[in-house]
Structures are given as C-alpha cells and as structure tokens.
Amino acid sequence: MKTVLLAISGGVDSSVAAALLKDKGYDVVGITFKNFDQNDLGLDASPKSCCSVELLNNARLVCDSLDIPHYVINRVELFEKEVIADFRNSYSQGLTPNPCIRCNSLVRWPELIHLADDLGYYYVATGHYARINDDGGRSMIKRAKNPAKDQSYALWGISPEYLQRTLLPLGEYSKKEVRDIAAKHSFASAETAESQDICFVPEGKYTDMMDDSSPGEIVDSKGLILGKHKGLDHYTIGQRRGLGISSPEPLYVLNIDLDNNRLVVGTDDYLFKSKFEAIKTNWFIDTAAGDKIDCLAKIRYRHEPAPCVVRILKDDRVEVSFAKPQRAITPGQSAVFYDGKTLLGGGVVDSVS
C-alpha cells in the first residue's frame, strides 16, 4: 500500500514532496506532465514555466538524486481542451477563470489516478500546501498548517473519491522549512524565486492568449461615456489600473457588459455586494436541494474567508449570502466554502446581486 505516483514539476515544492515521501518509506515514482509547448502558444521560452526544459531537467535530476523513477507524460491535447480553451473562452465571455483549479480537477488528479491504476500503485501526491485528514471515516481536505501558504482553495474541484488515495506531504510545513529541506538535498530549486504567474502565461500577459477583441465605450453606472476601452478581455471586476481615463476620484471596473461591448466603471463602494449564485459545485459533504449551510466562503485566492449562508439549489447551483458585503465578487472566479479549516466544497461564481 505504500506506493505513490508524485506529480513533480521540478520546482522546490514538488521536489521536497518527493524527498519527504521517500524518507517515509514510500515507493515513489515521479510523473511530470508536459501540458503545453511554449512554441505552439507563441510564448517566449521561460524557465518559470512548468513545461520548460529547465524545470523538466530539474525534475529528472531530483528523481535521480533520490533514486526514484521519473517519467514525462504528454498531456498537451487534454490540457488544451480542458484548461487553455476554457481560459480563452471565459475571457471572451467577460469571465475571470481559475485555470489552476481546472487543471487540478480535470487533468492532474484524474490522470494521476488513471496512471496509478495502470501501474498498480495506490496513492497519488502533489506539492500543494494543504492537508488531508480522516473525519469520521471520510477523507477531507483541510487548510495548510501555515495559513500564508495554504493552497486548499485550488483543490475544491477534485473528485471526492480521490481523496482517500491522495497524499499532500507539505501540509504541515512552512515555505522556509521546505526551502531548508531542499537546500539539505542540494536541489537546484532551493533558492529559486517563486512565481505567481499562470503556468502557460509566465509573464502574466494573459491577453497575448486572446484573439483581438473590439474596442468600445467606458461608461459610468448612469451610462455617461468616459472614454474608450481596448477590448473587454483586457479587464476584470475590481480592476483600477489601465483604464486610461481621468477622474477626480479612483474608478474601478464594476461590470463587463458584453451585450453592448461596454465597460462599466465607478467608485470603490459600488464593488461591495452581499449575494451571488455559483454553479458547477463540487461537495465533500452530503448535500441536498433546500439545505442551508452556515460556513465561510473565499471568493478569490487571497480573500479572507467570510461568514455566509449557502443555500443549495438544484442542478449543482447554490445561492450564497454573506453576513457583510464583500468586495469585487467576480463571475468566473471560484467560491470555496469552509467549516473552520475544513474544505466543504466549492463552485464557480455565476451571477452577483
């Protein structure tokens, strides 16, 4: 039973995860997914990319140093279909997507589990900062011991049936402790700067991934024309910079009006809302239509979880009511629900009121 397939990118986190699993006596195999080709996407070669030659070599060297097998698996077609195409399509519809969440739920975990089944291995593992604990006979995701590095938000879409077969070795560690372990093993990634970019947009220029969109009007909440926008896929709810208009007070994106190709802007106070609906929900607890759940919700990765009531509707849809208005609830982003440190489930923000 102590057999595990580890998703290893070559970065410091997954490299240390490999070392920790090996030290605990697991029979480890390192799996690096090649999810895209930088040339095919028209991107400059970047060592930060999860599919760069540098990181692939790092993954191989880490596995060699730990005396564990390492394989590179091509999943370019699947990643294009489930992640990159959705990324482009979401922005074209005025939504702000979470590609890392789709990768985890639709590519990384299903592919690891399928490979493990084919090879006769039981567990799968990644370098995410989160924990999995037994809660009354049910495996549940919990926030990392170090709140500053917690990545449980990105795991809400994983199939519940995968949790009992998942190991998250870094959940009890701080980033400093992880870097210290990497240095002890002389991993090349020990001092590598951390990137916050989307893996297939290493310089953060996501609009380079889009087709050209049409310029249009920037208006205030009353319809007064204030200027011109560059194309709606250049903007997201709550954005202030890059609007290209002058005003005696700061203005922010309030709404992306696709029907009229208009960008609606206003002052910060208009960004605070109390209710929204989410779709495509995934739960790690039993739920039924009509249930009301008192819990905490995160509406973006860096958002502090806030008290709310989630009402279960039909067709994987929920209605969420915050106790206090929250800033910039954004369609396309993930809403993730917690009971204390326990991840209950999540969904995709659909409409805000």
Q: Is 51 a catalytic residue?
A: no
Tell me if 281 sits within 8 A of 345, measured CB to CB.
yes
| Active-site hit among 50, 51, 63, 103 | 103
Tell me how crowded residue 61 is: count the other CB atoms within 10 A of its CB: 17
| Active-site hit among 51, 199, 295, 308 | 199
- Taking each helix axis from N to C end, the angle separating 175-184 and 12-23, rounded to the nearest 10 degrees, works out to 70
Tell me how crowded residue 4 is: count the other CB atoms within 10 A of its CB: 27
Integer Cα distance of 158 and 228 in angstroms: 41
Amino acid at 233: D
Question: Which residue, 268, 315, 278, is CA-closest to 299?
Answer: 278
Q: Is 100 a catalytic residue?
A: no
Integer Cα distance of 328 and 287 in angstroms: 28
As a whole number of Å, the CA-based R_g of the chain is 21
Q: Report the catalytic residues.
A: 103, 199
